[in-house]
Amino acid sequence: MSNSDVVIVILAAGKGTRLKSALAKVLHRAGGRSLVEHVVRACQPLKAREMVAVVGHQAEDVTAALTSLGVKTALQNPQRGTGHAMLVARRAIPSRAKYAIVLPGDAPLIRTDTLAALARSHRETGAAATILSAEIENPAGYGRIVRNDDGSVAAIVEDSALHDDQRAIREINSSIYCFSLDKLWPCLGSLKPQNVHKELYLTDAIAVLRQKGENVQAILAADPDEVLGCNTRGDLAAVDAVFRRRKRAAIMDAGVTIEMPETVLIDPEVTVGADSRIEPCVQLLGKTRIGSGCTIRTGSVVSDAVLEDNVLVKPHTMVIASHLSQGTQVGPFAHLRDGARLEENARVGNFVEVKKSVLGEGVKSMHLTYLGDARVGAGTNIGAGTITCNYDGVHKNPTTIGKRVFIGSDTALVAPVRVGDGAYVGAGSVITENVPPDALGLARGRQVNFPGWAASRRRQMAAATKSLKSRPGKKVKRSAPARRSRTRSRQAKPSRKH
């Protein structure tokens, strides 16, 4: 489609008072992106001559977001309504543009095809303005399309200005239009702020065009969801739900099973391979790529991660900015983050955190462990409760563990430190020096047993208590724990008779 005579104008200067937020409305997110980014992405394939956005409220932040998407901005300050916003946009619109597709920055569900159909229809009818309208169940809050007896468009009447007999009109103004600019500009000049907010409404330009005898068309959006605007938090939630539903449907169409899909949240750029299975209450976020035959079990969050084929993520596991190779298994309750990489068939179990570390093929670290800034060679077993002490208060230091190493339980590896291939580290060690290949590293106090010590201590304690009780005239005041121990000894007595 050639749209070199079309300019896109996105109105994004408003504050969004009804959201009661410190953040500009168009930067609020739904379906995993800011509202305005959705709008820009829907417009991009139209290949218009230029995209211009009118910014005002929090102009700096909104401009930064738009510039990165290739959109030019024009500053509207103060914001005196959608009609005024269009006048501001004029300064940034190239004179060669014949048509403008105008969109609000807060209606993010609009689709490219619908915009293309709007532009096509506008050209075909030779109209001065074509409004994208929609018939919706609950039109409250929207401007209504008021038609003449012959069905032609007479005006757009804002919700606050409706007569009682107009309230039932279900055809609403989406705020998405195509204008012939030579017809629009003279009308905008004659707009008056005829409302309580003292604003210039772009909607009033429609009545002005009609009074001049111009051709104004309204075409219905096939899917009324597409025009939903986000004025309130409730609207944001409703729009988010539509995006999420669309994304889940696309993922399921790609051959993925999603159990209780309404509980699963998937960001727009996520991909999942065929025959993977996603259990309830899972979140797949950011640029996550999941291969085929994977299972993501309930309660897990996977963000900006790569999962190759046949990966199993057990319940309640976080996988953040990490890479899980074929056949790896993680969780339940594991936390992989910031560049963790598991090579083929490696396994990480419950309450194990892995940060910026590479675990070689077949490595196992199954229980209660922290591996940070570590490299672990293939076939190594990391015992329960192993900690890499990677941080000395100033620097993060590396731990290098070779292939086929056995790290005993409850080992602290004080980095920087190396354990050579094939070495053993005894349980409970605090390893501060390198362990050579095939050696045993043992760094713990030697055990000493004192025979009979415990029995003798119990006898001493019993004798001391007895002499205290039998002291004449002395009332023994018992503390709470003492009372408890007396109960216990009474219960123990009968067993002694046997």
231 binds ligand UD1 (CB under 6 A): yes
Of the candidates 117, 92, 104, the residue with the CA atom closest to the CA atom of residue 3: 117
**Minimum distance between the CB of residue 23 and Ca ion, rounded to whole angstroms?**
16
The residue (of 108 and 420) whose beta carbon lies closer to ligand UD1 is: 108
Q: Which of 7, 8, 9, 12 binds ligand UD1 (CB under 6 A)?
A: 12
Q: Is 263 helix (H, G, I), strand (E, B) or coil?
A: helix
Site residues for Ca ion, window 54-113 (CB under 5 A)?
106
Helix (H) or strand (E) holding 182: helix 181-189
> Is residue 129 at the binding interface for ligand UD1, with CB under 6 A as the rule?
no
Answer for the pair 405, 387: CB distance below 8 angstroms, yes or no: no
The identity of residue 316, as a single letter, is H
* Contacted by 298, from Ca ion, ligand UD1, none: CB < 5 to 8 Å by type: none
User: What is the smallest separation between the CB atom of 127 and ligand UD1, expressed in angstroms?
Assistant: 18
Nearer to ligand UD1, 173 or 325 (CB): 173
Residue whose CB is less far from ligand UD1, 156 or 346:
156
The one among 37, 50, 62, 142 contacting ligand UD1 by CB under 6 A = 142
Minimum gap (Å) between residue 225 Cβ and ligand UD1:
13
Cα 216–Cα 52–Cα 220 angle in degrees, nearest 5? 30
Query: Do 40 and 88 touch, CB atoms closer than 8 A?
Result: no
Would you count residue 358 as binding ligand UD1 (CB under 6 A)?
no
Give the contacts of 359 (CB within 8 A, at least 6 positions apart). Answer: 340, 341, 342, 343, 346, 348, 365, 371, 376
3 state DSSP class of 207: helix
Give the nearest residue (CB) to ligand UD1: 143
Handedness of CA 209, 212, 214, 216 (dihedral sign): positive
199 near Ca ion (CB under 5 A): no
* 367 belongs to the catalytic site: yes
| 202 belongs to the binding site for ligand UD1 (CB under 6 A) | yes
Beta carbons of 411 and 431 less than 8 angstroms apart: yes
303 touches ligand UD1 (CB under 6 A): no
Which helix or strand (DSSP H or E) is residue 99 part of? Answer: strand 99-104
Note whether 365 and 382 are within 8 A (CB). Answer: yes
The site string for ligand UD1 over 232-271 (x = CB under 6 A, - otherwise) reads ----------------------------------------
Q: What is the layout of strands, in order, in the sheet containing 323-324?
A: 271-272, 289-290, 306-307, 323-324, 341-342, 358-359, 374-376, 399-401, 417-419
Beta carbons of 389 and 363 less than 8 angstroms apart = no
* Catalytic option among 197, 323, 367, 498: 367
Q: Can residue 291 be called a binding residue for ligand UD1 (CB under 6 A)?
A: no
Among 105, 229, 327, 420, the residue binding Ca ion under the rule CB under 5 A is 229
Least separation in angstroms between residue 99's CB and ligand UD1 is 19
Stretch that binds ligand UD1, among 1-9, 77-85, 342-350, 375-383 (CB under 6 A): 77-85
State which residue, 232 or 263, has the beta carbon closest to Ca ion: 232
* Binding positions for ligand UD1, rule: CB under 6 A: 11-14, 25, 54, 56, 76, 79-82, 84-85, 104-107, 142-143, 156, 158, 172-175, 201-203, 229, 231
Please list the active-site residues. 367
